[in-house]
Amino acid sequence: MPVEVKSLGKIKRGFINFIDIYKPETAIVFTDKDFTTKEVGNTKIAYIPHYFI
């Protein structure tokens, strides 16, 4: 499962490329405050505040 840590929650092209190539079911982005989900292709990306770790 890919995991990314971003203060603003904006994912970079490299993370999107990884998802496009390996097609994981889910991915996690730890952020400062966002708590939502989005989809890129068939991958669900969960945005979770880092203080939930």
pLDDT per residue, tens digit, the chain (53 aa), is 899 998 888 889 999 999 999 999 999 999 998 899 999 999 999 999 999 88
pLDDT of residue 17: 96
- State pTM to two decimals: 0.86
Domain ranges, residue 22: 3-52
State how far the Cα of 12 lies from the Cα of 52, in Å rounded to an integer: 22
Total domains in the chain come to 1
pLDDT of residue 18: 96
Going through 1-53 in order, the beta strands assigned E by DSSP cover 3-5, 26-31, 36-40, 43-49
